[in-house]
Amino acid sequence: MELPNPAPRPEGEVRELERIWATPRGWRLLTAVNNTVIGLLYIGVAFLFFLMAGVLAMLMRTQLAVGDNRLIGQDLYNQMFTVHGTTMMFLFAVPAVEALGVMLLPQMLAARDLPFPRLSAFAIWAYVVGGLVFFSTIFYDLAPKGGWFMYPPLTLTEYSPGDNADFWLLGIGFIEISAIAGAIEIVVGTLRTRPPGMSLAKMPIFAWTMLIFASMIMFAFPAVILATMMLEIERAFGWPFFSAARGGDPLLWQHLFWFFGHPEVYIIFLPAAGLVSMIVPTMARTPLVGYHLIVVALIGTGFFSFGLWVHHMFTTGIPAMSLAFFSAASMAVAVPSGIQVFAWIATIAAGRQRFRMTTASLFVLGFLFIFTVGGLTGVMVAMVPFDYQVHDTYFVVAHFHYVLIGGFVFPLFAAYYYWIPLFSRRPLSERLGRWVFWLMFIGFNITFLPMHLTGLKGMPRRVWTYPEDIGWNMLNAISTVGTYVLAAGILIFLIDLIAKFRFGNAEIENPWGAGTLEWLPNDVYSTRSIPHITGREPLWDRPSLPQEVRDGHHYLPNAPTGGRETIVTSPIHAQPQYVIQMPGPGWPPFLAAVFTAACFLLLTVKMVTIAIICGALAIAFVLVWAWGLDPGPSKGTIDIARGIRLPTYMTGPTSHSWWAMVVLMIVAASLYFAYVFSYLFLWLVSPEVWAPTGSPAPPPGLWPVSAAALMLAGSSTIWLISRRLEKLAASPVAMAAALLLSLALLIGALALELSGHLMTGLRPGDNAYGAMVYLGAVLFAQLAFALTILGLFTLARYLTGKLDGARRVTFDNYMLLYHYAVAQSLLGLALVHGFPRLIG
């Protein structure tokens, strides 16, 4: 292969890179956005949540050690399992995966950073602040008690008065925000910032899993976002989505929650499998067997996991045939997992040298064992009749801890041992590592293996104590002992970590002799030059690569724009397309996150005025931050290698901001899809409250038709501005008028829609029909609100000369969101006005 930059590089380039990518010091560390810094914060906090939720687990196990125990009261126990489950699932597992993505993806893809560093920083800080507040509610008797899936009607105000349940909704709100932000980052990152030559067929498996992880978030989280919105609205304002007496249905919550909740399990598991697929080949010193099969298995699992949600509802009285449809998918999803397990075993067997038994390998093997057991009991509970038997018993608790701890915690520990040399000068102790592993492995099995039996003996989950003479004592005592053994293992890990971890790069560059790019010589700016990729294990294929990369013989060995930048490549074949200029450290993302957190919190405790002020401040800081983006084409084109010149600015469908917007629109669309599903679902359940017979008929056809006309006029205005942006740049009055007109049209349509329904006498609190109708308007209003801010922002950029025919990213975003809002609202009009007429 010919080197992209064969000539020797001039002096001083590395120093320049170091200066540009330097980590801020002192207090300003809070402003850092570089993935190595915030990624570390992210994973550190996620691990903290694991420890804290683990302590709760130990307390619960202590309480259950003997029958008729009075150590922890019932109410506190209820709070504990709820906080334990919620924290583990939402504040530990999902964020830990995202953290790994933020930390490892840029290194694995040899990109200088992910494309939206400040977005990551924002997401992480919102999570840190929001998560800590959520967890602390357990200390003030304010924690939710409804279990991690918070089923109504138990969680409605009638049965859960006080703010406890609202804190759950708050905590979840944060995770939703940061998960979506992370998904945008990861989708665009994996698809667009791969090194030149790394086509899809050469992408590391971990990157595949992260891509699938992020795509799954795009489709799964919106369902729970909608559900939490509805529950909060019902709790605060009494719109009866889930109250059966007024046409709502608690089962709607279960559908929405599990449409998210089951994929959630795979959202956690797939990246863990990705970690394993990276570690196994290194330890076996041979390429992964069945790369294509594994990619297929991952995609298949990702898809099938969406067809399973009803298996959590086998006992809710759904027709047998529906159950069968979902039972089929529950079985089908086992096949791809099996494929992966065999591929790993084959890789271990294929190595010509012996498989190296490092601590990471031990955790991988432990994972294989535990996860397989969890998979087997999973197939058992996927069988409807068996599930009837063990539903809501300790059998299920045992099953999902086998899957979650085996399938996620063990791979995560493997990853800690494996990748720590990238971030710490000293690795963890391999000798202590064995202790950690064996204590955890044995402790885990002592804790959870007996629980299968406890469950079969009939002990229900979520009970704070049990009668002493019922025959569950022995098994429970064993489980509790196991928990302490497990905890001892984690404690040793912690001590070792504190003793060894020192920020910086390891002395030995590639301690395991791995083949993937994260083991190239690394610094804050990632690799000195971005390598040209020709195979799946570049470091094995080309032993001289590290030296070449260090000497700057590959792409972009310097910082030609004088700021942070990385190469953007095409999504399929990874051909270089342009160089993206990225923002550096700054206060706005941090402050925006803090004020977002404050706003939500204050809303939860009903301090509305200050909450609104904080919300406004949060938006203000987001705007300050966005103001610095969209640099425009001023830096012209630059050389990234001999004979390859790339632009430093891009607009339109190839640009990363366009992609981010499309991801956001997909998220919004799946949320809307969940809304349409809910509307039809509640109609199926309670046709008697639906218009035109059970409720006032919708307003005359002229209302929706006029609203639609206004929106179409708005879209046309936007379309015209887009075509004429060049010319309009010369006439501020026309441009301002056109932008304001587009906003006025949209808001006019919203006002028409709302007043039409108000006029008929329908109120959202009347019944489920009214609630759904007004919820549609709420979703419309949300978009209109976002568009108002974005539109005025666009106008401001234009008036200050930061927007013109060439520099138009802000306008493009406004345009995309606008058209999307119109499309969504037109569909909404058709549903809300058309459907009652159809059935009437």
Partner 1 sequence: MKEPAKEAPTVSAILFLLAGPILWAGHLLLVYGVQSVTCVVGSGSVAPSALIRTLVVLVTLGAILLLCLALFFPGRLAHMLRYQTPDRDNHVFSVRVERLLILLSLPAVIWSGAAAFLLDACGLSR
3-state secondary structure of 696: coil
From the list 316-324, 421-429, 761-769, 824-832, the region that binds partner 1 by CB under 8 A is 316-324
CB of 612 vs ligand HEM, minimal distance in Å: 33
Compute the C-alpha angle 393/394/400, nearest 5°. 105
From the list 154-162, 495-503, 572-580, 582-590, the region that binds partner 1 by CB under 8 A is 572-580
Closer by beta carbon to partner 1, 261 or else 699:
261
Please report the beta strands in 503-653, taking only residues with DSSP state E, as ranges in sequence order: 564-569, 576-582, 637-641, 644-647
3-state secondary structure of 744: helix
For the chain, the C-alpha Rg in angstroms (whole number) is 27
Q: Does 575 bind partner 1 (CB under 8 A)?
A: yes
Distance in angstroms (rounded) separating the CA atoms of residues 221 and 200: 26
Closer by beta carbon to Cu ion, 262 or else 452:
262
From the list 79-87, 99-107, 574-582, 793-801, the region that binds ligand HEM by CB under 6 A is 79-87
Q: Does 93 bind ligand HEM (CB under 6 A)?
A: yes
Among 401, 405, 424, 425, CA closest to 413? 405
Closer by beta carbon to Cu ion, 406 or else 770:
406
Closer by beta carbon to ligand HEM, 81 or else 774:
81
Q: Does 688 bind partner 1 (CB under 8 A)?
A: no
Site string for partner 1, 383-422 (x = CB under 8 A): -x---x----------------------------------
In order of 81, 97, 398, 447, 478, the CA distances from 68 in angstroms are 18, 39, 22, 20, 16
Start-to-end Cα distance in the chain: 71
CB of 367 vs Cu ion, minimal distance in Å: 20
Determine contact, residues 288/205, Cβ cutoff 8 Å.
yes
Return the C-alpha torsion angle 791, 795, 797, 800, nearest 10. -170
3-state secondary structure of 246: helix
Q: Does 646 bind partner 1 (CB under 8 A)?
A: yes
Instruction: Render 216-228 in DSSP notation, one character per residue.
Output: HHHHHHHHHHHHH
Site string for ligand HEM, 124-163 (x = CB under 6 A): -----------------------xx---------------
Q: Does 300 bind partner 1 (CB under 8 A)?
A: yes
Could you identify the residue written with the tokens 């953290």? 99
Q: Break the chain down into helix, strand, coil percent, rounded to 5.
A: 70, 5, 25
Distance in angstroms (rounded) separating the CA atoms of residues 477 and 61: 9
Closer by beta carbon to partner 1, 159 or else 325:
325
Distance in angstroms (rounded) separating the CA atoms of residues 790 and 813: 8
Distance in angstroms (rounded) separating the CA atoms of residues 490 and 447: 14
Closer by beta carbon to partner 1, 383 or else 786:
383
Q: Does 401 bind ligand HEM (CB under 6 A)?
A: yes
Closer by beta carbon to Cu ion, 173 or else 407:
407
Total residues contacting ligand HEM by CB under 6 A comes to 24
Closer by beta carbon to Cu ion, 403 or else 832:
403
Among 717, 766, 775, CA closest to 743? 717
Sorted by sequence, the CB contacts under 8 Å of residue 16 that are 6+ apart come out as 558, 559
Q: Does 96 bind ligand HEM (CB under 6 A)?
A: no
Closer by beta carbon to ligand HEM, 147 or else 521:
147
Tokens of 143: 């924690």
Tokens of 464: 């704070």
Closer by beta carbon to ligand HEM, 403 or else 775:
403
In order of 508, 516, 767, the CA distances from 353 in angstroms are 22, 19, 69
Which residues face 644 on adjacent strands? 641
Q: Does 81 bind ligand HEM (CB under 6 A)?
A: yes
Closer by beta carbon to partner 1, 190 or else 510:
190
Q: Which of 51, 324, 495, 608 binds partner 1 (CB under 8 A)?
A: 324
Question: From ligand HEM, partner 1, Cu ion, none, which one binds at residue 323 (CB under 5 to 8 Å depending on kind)?
Answer: partner 1
Instruction: Render 751-797 in DSSP notation, one character per residue.
Output: HHHHHHHHHTT--TTT-HHHHHHHHHHHHHHHHHHHHHHHHHHHHHH
CB of 312 vs Cu ion, minimal distance in Å: 5
CB of 342 vs partner 1, minimal distance in Å: 14
Question: From ligand HEM, Cu ion, partner 1, none, which one binds at residue 191 (CB under 5 to 8 Å depending on kind)?
Answer: partner 1
Distance in angstroms (rounded) separating the CA atoms of residues 455 and 476: 11
Q: Does 331 bind partner 1 (CB under 8 A)?
A: yes
Distance in angstroms (rounded) separating the CA atoms of residues 58 and 591: 36
Amino acid, res. 37: V
CB of 770 vs ligand HEM, minimal distance in Å: 32
Closer by beta carbon to partner 1, 318 or else 778:
318
Count of H helices and E strands in the chain?
A: 27, 4
From the list 86-94, 110-118, 634-642, 666-674, the region that binds ligand HEM by CB under 6 A is 86-94
Q: Does 303 bind partner 1 (CB under 8 A)?
A: yes
317: number of Cβ within 10 Å: 7
Question: From Cu ion, ligand HEM, partner 1, none, which one binds at residue 262 (CB under 5 to 8 Å depending on kind)?
Answer: Cu ion
Q: Does 335 bind partner 1 (CB under 8 A)?
A: yes
Question: From Cu ion, partner 1, ligand HEM, none, which one binds at residue 51 (CB under 5 to 8 Å depending on kind)?
Answer: none
From the list 278-286, 322-330, 396-404, 812-820, the region that binds ligand HEM by CB under 6 A is 396-404
Q: Does 63 bind ligand HEM (CB under 6 A)?
A: no
Residues lying near partner 1 in the complex (CB under 8 A) are found at 191, 196-197, 199-202, 292-293, 295-296, 299-300, 303-304, 306-307, 317-326, 328-329, 331-332, 335-336, 384, 388, 532, 570-573, 575-578, 644, 646, 684-685
Residues lying near ligand HEM in the complex (CB under 6 A) are found at 54, 57, 60-61, 81-82, 84-85, 88-89, 93, 147-148, 397, 401, 404-405, 408-409, 447, 461-462, 483, 486
